[in-house]
Amino acid sequence: MFKFIFAFLFFLFFSGLSSKAQELPVYNHFYITPYLYNPAEAAASPFRNVSLNQRFQWRGVEGAPMVSTLTFESPFDYKKYGLSATLRNFSRGLLTTTDFLATYSYAINLTKSAKVRFGISGGVTSNSIDFSQIQDLSDPAINNFLDNNVQPISNVGLKLETTSGINLGVSLPRLFKIQYANTQNFEALELSPFNEFTIMAYYKKPVDYKLVTRRTGRFKRTVKLEDVYAPLQFYALYQYSQFDGQRIEVLSTMNFNEIFWIGASYRLNYGMSGMVGFNMQKLSLSYAYEPSSKLVEGIANGSHEIQLNIKIGDKIKRLVERPKLKSLERTEERAPRFSSQDVQLGGEEGEIQDKKYYVVVREFKDFNSADQLVKKLKRDEDITADIFYNKQNEIYYVYIYETFSRREANKEKKTAEEVTKFKNIKVIIVDVN
């Protein structure tokens, strides 16, 4: 499926589609901050961070687009929800647009190797006009525009993320129709979600850790780096706008070490661009340059874009250190049961310890119900469970962990409460002598 998606995007890339005048902001640094194009990417990093992006497009052309974007992203606990905000100022010609968006994102685990992220944003936008370039300031249309230019904006996005490094995202950048001349504020409430959309696929392989050597004075020491990725990364971007037409771009970056990287991209019907970046502990700085395009006459220089990223505080550890359920070992003895004759009676003969602790998720009066739960856990959750029977109260207990340590049993009980849907999980103590 993923190979098909990439093939489709690259087919579009070489198909010779045309583009129109620019209305949507263009970013060379979407590979660093994909949140710029998809709200589902918000707060995906385990760090709180602030990014500032400044783009000067087509330097030398009067009224050329210029974009200033400030973003803040904050992840929370292992449930992987986050809050983010964007403040953007986008000027082109006479018109300047200022947007503010607040974003909520949430991730759902599909399998052990894949999850889906969802993001939705809401905020306001306003427009202003450069009076220095207008001859007739008494025009009532201008006054009406300036008095009633605060309107709602919203966007939504989805992203499929896999541990293999393949990611696919789809977003709708504007849920409300763009209106520049309104009779009152917040008048532009006409839904038009499909006038614009963005598709982005990329390969960014996460690596468990990386060992590097660093020098401190005369001494060298080995440092373990976490949250790192494979050196080579690939991106493919497709954007459609009813106003701007279509934009297709492919991009690749190469990390030489944890400090320095370079990259290059090609945008259909425009040309090549290059980028370079540096990491300095919690701060990173990157620069992108686009040479002059023959499609835009009168350009004296190309386009320049600078991005600054700052990590705030320490890593949100629980985001990447979600409790892991130990469960039982997978052996033939732990196979789903088909007879109540095979059920343990609480402990096994020959054990040296006096007491054994069982982490119990459910209890039943009949064996068949308990056995069905054991099979369901194995099939749906990949959790190995077993059953033991208490003769005194005639109860069948389904347990997912057994140990001779009270502390370990209580720890696994807490973990099971956090990572499973079971309520009222118990630790049952059984005398084994």
State the DSSP string of 194-257: GGEEEEEEEE--EES-EEEEEEETTEEEEEEE-SEE-SEEEEEEEEEETTTEEEEEEEEEEESS
Lookup: tokens for 2: 């993923």
**245-254, pLDDT tens digit by residue?**
889 999 999 9
SS3 label, residue 345: coil
Query: Which single residue is written with the structure tokens 């789903």?
Result: 336
Per-residue pLDDT at 291:
86
Burial of 69 (0-12, 13-18, 19+ CB in 10 A): buried
**How far is the C-alpha of 409 from the C-alpha of 400, rounded, in Å?**
10
Mean pLDDT calculated for residue range 144-157: 78
Answer with the residue of higher pLDDT: 346 or 309.
Answer: 309
Sequence-distant (≥ 6) Cβ neighbours of residue 270 within 8 angstroms = 19, 290, 293, 295
- Contact (Cβ atoms closer than 8 angstroms) between residue 387 and residue 397: yes
**How far is the C-alpha of 425 from the C-alpha of 411, rounded, in Å?**
12
Name the percent of the chain lying above pLDDT 70: 72
CATH number of 332-431: 3.30.70.1070
Q: Indicate the length of the chain as a whole number.
A: 433
Q: Which of 53, 19, 16, 65 is nearest to 299 (CA)?
A: 65
**How far is the C-alpha of 297 from the C-alpha of 405, rounded, in Å?**
76
Top CATH class of 2-320 equals: mainly beta
pTM of the model: 0.66
What mean pLDDT value characterizes the chain?
80
| Extents of the domains making up the chain | 2-320, 332-431
- CA dihedral for 366, 371, 376, 382, sign (positive or negative): positive
**221-244, pLDDT tens digit by residue?**
666 666 778 899 999 999 998 877
Confidence at 23, pLDDT banded by 50, 70, 90: low
The distance from CA 80 to its chain's CA centroid, rounded to whole angstroms, is 9
Sequence-distant (≥ 6) Cβ neighbours of residue 170 within 8 angstroms = 38, 157, 158, 159, 197, 198, 199
**174-218, pLDDT tens digit by residue?**
988 877 666 666 666 778 888 899 999 999 998 776 666 666 666
